[in-house]
């Protein structure tokens, strides 16, 4: 039996490396405002995996910068193995034929104005972008539709419109190109507000994208990811984790229809599928009476969905939740379950929030130290 497992493990390892005996072809948006973050994270992640890669020059292939999902799929079939810097909606469903890594940085849509602007008045948004949907969902009474995100930012900077909604990286980029302009920013609250940047590949690159996810986790645990993605940012931007170490030279703002692609993450966390069943039993016996049979919340908060772990600004880590639960839960007899029961119920919570098992069992030693961010991938 042992011998068979060894053979299988060997075969898998071989397949994983042989798939990329050649250099990985990495695509990046040539003019994206997050380009320097994407480049830095790719370099660190591939470095960590000891994989060689080369950046594919998409200058011509992308033309004006528009990239809708069919185009992305086509590029991933012909020109690149993996694409960095794809903005993805939090909790979105899988785009057919695509796989996405863990997110490496949040890049949300924010409301912005020049400092001291009174509340109220029109809100500028770009046509056919998430900003327009956010304004519509918020029932903004008076909105001013511009043709491009660039025009939105200019309209506010030039005081033609008091407020705007724009992608945080675009604002940061504008501020870099216009020293002296500093917008006051605040989050928007809509299901179109929250975006994250990920690596995206075609399904044939599932193994590679999975390895990039692990590299992102490792970079996050070591603090390097935070260093790469959040440095001296203009006011407001740091809150969104969007900042670049090296300023971009030209201000780029996505054109209408530019690639806001809805792809699902394939988040994994350390636990084994076999821990989920026992964890579900612990949950039913020890947690459901307060948190609800479906984790929906009863006398205690919900343990699933954005209300529990909003994926853009969740400050919780898996280890932090584990430590909280082992010391405070069940609230009527805190700390009184067996270590194995706490571990299994944690595996169940991860599963219930959309994580796939990495296959390596979660243990009482590993769980409190797991510094990966806990995001719910369930609506």
Which residues are at the interface with ligand HEC (CB under 6 A)? Answer: 286-287, 289-291, 300-301, 303, 308, 321, 324-325, 329-332, 345
Q: Which two tokens stand for residue 257?
A: 């229809």
> Does residue 330 have a cis bond before it (omega within 30 degrees)?
yes
34 within 8 A of 242, measured Cβ to Cβ = yes
For residue 225, the minimal CB distance to ligand HEC (Å) is 24
Q: Least distance from C-beta 90 to ligand HEC, angstroms?
A: 17
Nearest-approach distance from CB 302 to ligand HEC, in angstroms = 7
- Nearest 5°: the CA angle 46, 60, 265 is 40
For ligand HEC, the closer of residues 21 and 315 by Cβ is 315
Residues 6+ apart with CB under 8 A from 6: none
Q: Which of 142, 41, 137 is nearest to 84 (CA)?
A: 41
Question: Do 199 and 83 meet the contact criterion of CB atoms below 8 Å apart?
Answer: yes
Closer of 300 and 356 to ligand HEC (Cβ): 300
Q: Which long-range CB contacts under 8 A does 312-316 form with residues at least 24 apart?
A: 312/90, 312/106, 312/108, 312/193, 312/194, 312/195, 312/196, 312/240, 313/106, 313/187, 314/373, 314/374, 314/375, 314/376, 316/373, 316/374
Taking the complex as a whole, the smallest distance from the CB of residue 315 to ligand HEC amounts, in Å, to 11
Nearer to ligand HEC, 14 or 324 (CB): 324
From 193, 169, 181, 321, select the one nearest 248 (Cα to Cα).
Answer: 169
Give least dist CB 287 to ligand HEC, A. Answer: 3
Task: Using the minimum distance from each CB to ligand HEC, give the nearer residue, 148 or 323.
Answer: 323
Closest to ligand HEC by CB, 69 or 314: 314
Report the nearest approach of ligand HEC to the CB of residue 164 (Å). 33
The dihedral region occupied by 234, where left means phi > 0, alpha psi between -120 and 50, and beta the remainder, is beta
Instruction: Name which of 125 and 325 has its Cβ closer to ligand HEC.
Output: 325
Nearer to ligand HEC, 16 or 284 (CB): 284
**Residue-level length of the chain:** 379
Closest separation between CB of residue 301 and ligand HEC, Å? 4
Smallest gap from residue 206 Cβ to ligand HEC (A): 31
- Distance between CA atoms of residues 316 and 322, nearest Å: 10
| 194 alpha carbon, distance to own chain's centre | 9
The CA distance from 375 to 306, in Å, is 8
Residues 275, 350: contact at Cβ < 8 Å?
A: no
- Give least dist CB 349 to ligand HEC, A: 6
Q: How far is the CB of 91 from ligand HEC (least distance, A)?
A: 17
Which residue number, 26 or 329, has a Cβ lying nearer to ligand HEC?
A: 329
Q: Which is nearer to ligand HEC, 95 or 305 (CB)?
A: 305
Contact 28, 57 (CB under 8 A): no
| Residues 346, 326 contacting (CB under 8 angstroms) | no
What is the residue whose two structure tokens read 């020890």? 286
Burial of 238 (0-12, 13-18, 19+ CB in 10 A): middle
CB nearer to ligand HEC: pick between 248 and 353:
353
């Amino acid at each position: 039996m042992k011998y068979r497992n060894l053979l299988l493990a060997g075969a898998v390892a071989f397949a994983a490396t042989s798939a990329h005996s050649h250099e990985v072809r990495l695509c990046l948006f040539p003019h994206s405002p997050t380009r320097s973050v994407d480049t830095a994270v790719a370099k660190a992640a591939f470095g960590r995996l000891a994989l060689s890669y080369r950046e594919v020059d998409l200058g011509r292939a992308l033309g004006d910068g528009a990239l809708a999902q069919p185009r992305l799929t086509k590029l991933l079939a012909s020109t690149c193995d993996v694409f960095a810097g794809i903005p993805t909606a939090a909790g979105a469903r899988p785009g057919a034929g695509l796989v996405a890594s863990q997110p490496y940085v949040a890049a949300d849509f924010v409301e912005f104005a020049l400092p001291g602007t009174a509340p109220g008045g029109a809100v500028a948004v770009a046509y056919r972008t998430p900003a327009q949907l956010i304004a519509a969902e918020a029932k903004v009474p008076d909105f001013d539709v511009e043709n491009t995100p660039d025009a939105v930012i200019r309209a506010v900077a030039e005081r033609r419109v008091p407020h705007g909604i724009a992608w945080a990286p675009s604002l940061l980029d504008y501020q870099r190109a216009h020293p002296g302009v500093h917008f006051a920013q605040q989050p928007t609250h809509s299901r179109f507000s929250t975006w994250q940047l990920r690596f995206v590949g075609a399904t044939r690159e599932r193994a590679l994208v999975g390895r990039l996810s692990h590299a992102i986790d490792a970079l996050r645990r070591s603090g390097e990811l935070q260093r790469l993605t959040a440095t001296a940012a203009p006011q407001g931007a740091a809150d969104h984790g969007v900042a670049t170490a090296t300023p971009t030279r030209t201000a780029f703002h996505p054109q209408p229809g530019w690639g806001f692609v809805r792809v699902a993450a394939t988040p994994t966390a350390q636990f084994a599928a076999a821990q989920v069943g026992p964890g579900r039993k612990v949950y039913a016996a020890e947690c459901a009476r307060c948190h609800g049979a479906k984790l929906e919340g009863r006398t205690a908060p919900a343990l699933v969905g954005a209300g529990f772990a909003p994926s853009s600004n969740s400050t919780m880590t898996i280890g932090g939740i584990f430590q909280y639960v082992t010391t405070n839960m069940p609230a009527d007899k805190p700390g009184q379950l067996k270590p194995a029961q706490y571990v299994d119920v944690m595996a169940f919570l991860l599963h219930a929030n959309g994580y796939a098992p990495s296959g390596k069992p979660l243990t009482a030693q590993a769980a409190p130290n797991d510094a990966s961010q806990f995001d719910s991938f369930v609506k």
